[in-house]
Amino acid sequence: MRDLPYYSFKHRDYTIEGYSRGAVQTYWRIPEFNLGFDLGAQPWSFMGTPNWFVSHSHMDHLAALPQYVTRRRMMKMSPPTIYLPKEAKVPVEQLLFQWQRLDRGHLPCTLVPIEPDMEIAVSRNILVKTFLAKHTINAMSFVVYQVKTKLKPEYLCLTGEQIRDLRQSGVEITYEVRTPLVAYSGDTRLDILLQYPDFLSAQVLIAEMTFISLEHPLATIHKYGHSDLADFVSIKDEFKNEAIIASHFSTRYTGKQIENQVDKYLPGRLGGRLKLFI
């Protein structure tokens, strides 16, 4: 059976899988972290991922939600958890209710309303933070962090027994180290991300590049809450990321046009770090 298209990019010890084309469909997941972003469509093979973060409620980022939920039920998997913008929760509940009537099948899932500046623990060592994006409707961007607890340096020389005693006496002997692993822009003006340093220092940045400066003035693109190749050019020295995945290209462009334009304005593709998922 042929599945929906998606790219697979292995980086360090995790994999970014997904595909995005503006106004068509957007879906990303990191199977090792048990989480995904956006449900514009749902490749059959993505079904096993149980936690999804919806950046905003445009159809190309959300339309596959009922299908995904019903597939998991059909395959006897646990009900998934969907984190979605708080204003979308009630309409999505109503939508699922109507689908249950049409399909005559249950759609078991947990819908968790989210807003910017939240921290959500997906597992003991994986945390997702939400950030305000700038789009035509309320939208969010996300950063996935690895969380590690370390012993404070002043206690490193203690024995196991001494550490246990200190802990039992209520002394805080550890501190938390957070490493930004993957940042996902969702649909947004790119310049907004400059406020959030972790987007530019995450190991991998998945960013939208809807336009490539062929015919739209930048002010119009920003008014519609999108990014252009020109935005990437203007902050090209700010990216500290090990890899930058650009996607969500408008369907008005062919793959060749996108590649040519990127190579013209960002020769070398940011030292080879910029990947085009067209």
Binding footprint of Zn ion on the chain (CB under 5 A) = 58, 60, 187
Closest to 79 in 3D by CA, of 97, 98, 52, 59: 52
In the bound state with Zn ion, the residue whose beta carbon lies nearer, of 181 and 206, is: 206
98-123 as b/e, with b when 16 or more CB fall inside 10 Å?
A: ebeeeeeeebebebeebeeeeebebe
For residue 151, the minimal CB distance to Zn ion (Å) is: 44
Rounded CA-CA distance 160/125 in Å is: 23
Nearer to Zn ion (CB atom), residue 49 or residue 247: 247
* CB 112 to Zn ion: min, Å: 21
Tallying the residues shown for the chain, one arrives at 278
- Minimum distance of Zn ion from residue 25's CB (angstroms): 9
User: Measured from the CB atom, is 187 or 198 closer to Zn ion?
Assistant: 187
d(CA 76, CA 70): 10
Distance, C-alpha 273 to centroid of its chain: 18
Report the C-alpha gap between 238 and 82 in whole angstroms.
32
The span from the CA of 112 to the CA of 140, in Å, is: 14
Shortest Cβ distance from residue 226 to Zn ion (Å)? 8
Closest separation in Å from C-beta 3 to Zn ion: 21
Residue 276 Cβ, how far from Zn ion at the closest point, in Å? 17
Nearest to 124, CA basis, from 141, 150, 143, 149: 149
CB of 208 to Zn ion, least distance (A): 7
- When the beta carbons of 109 and 140 are compared against Zn ion, the nearer one is 140
In this complex, which beta carbon is closest to Zn ion, that of residue 145 or of residue 184?
184
Determine what percent of the chain falls in helix, strand and coil, rounding each to the nearest 5. 30, 30, 40
Q: 85 or 180, CB closer to Zn ion?
A: 85
Nearer to Zn ion by C-beta: 140 or 243?
140
Nearer to Zn ion, 52 or 145 (CB): 52
**Which tokens is 59 given?**
């159809």
Query: Position of tokens 């980022």?
Result: 61
Instruction: Decide if 169 contacts 185 (C-beta within 8 A).
Output: no
Report the C-alpha gap between 32 and 16 in whole angstroms: 9
Least gap, CB of 57 to Zn ion (angstroms): 9
